[in-house]
Amino acid sequence: MPEKRTLFWGGILLCLLLLFAWGIRLYTRKHQSVAGATVAFSVGADSLYSQYQRDEHTADSLYLGKVIEVRGKLGEIQHNGVLEIWILSTGGGGGVNCQLFPGEKYPGGNHRIGDSVSIRGKCTGFLMDVTLSDCVFQ
């Protein structure tokens, strides 16, 4: 019968190997867009921004971490390396920042500032604007 010390260190080694394998699996997992996800809410950019501006805690309880569809007017397009961020303007001075999933292209091909767009993304909260990540076009 093996000694208790050998069994103890063998168990510790087995746990470390399992944790290492789990970490490698998470690290190598492909990043996914929200294209196939179910939409929890459909809301206008003005309404979403005003809800966050009025009461961030309540808005977080509704939207944070959920896939939402936002409709609004395109205010600006920013390029940050390979990332493209579409900012939907609101009447309140702020906006909704929609970080597009890498490789996502506007379906019509042509887009102009002021166009009405509908974007689906995961809500990541409110800094100075409402932020959506992994966005795709509707």
Pairwise CA distance, residues 60 & 44, whole Å = 16
Phi, psi values for residue 100, rounded to 5°:
-70, 145
Q: Taken in order 32, 38, 39, 40, is the CA torsion positive or negative? A: negative
Pairwise CA distance, residues 122 & 66, whole Å = 5
Pairwise CA distance, residues 45 & 111, whole Å = 18
What is the largest distance, in Å, between two alpha-carbon atoms of the chain? 77
pLDDT tens for the 138 residues of the chain, in order? 578 889 999 999 999 999 999 999 988 887 777 777 888 889 999 999 999 999 999 999 999 999 999 999 988 888 887 777 888 887 767 889 988 888 777 776 777 888 888 999 999 999 888 999 888 887
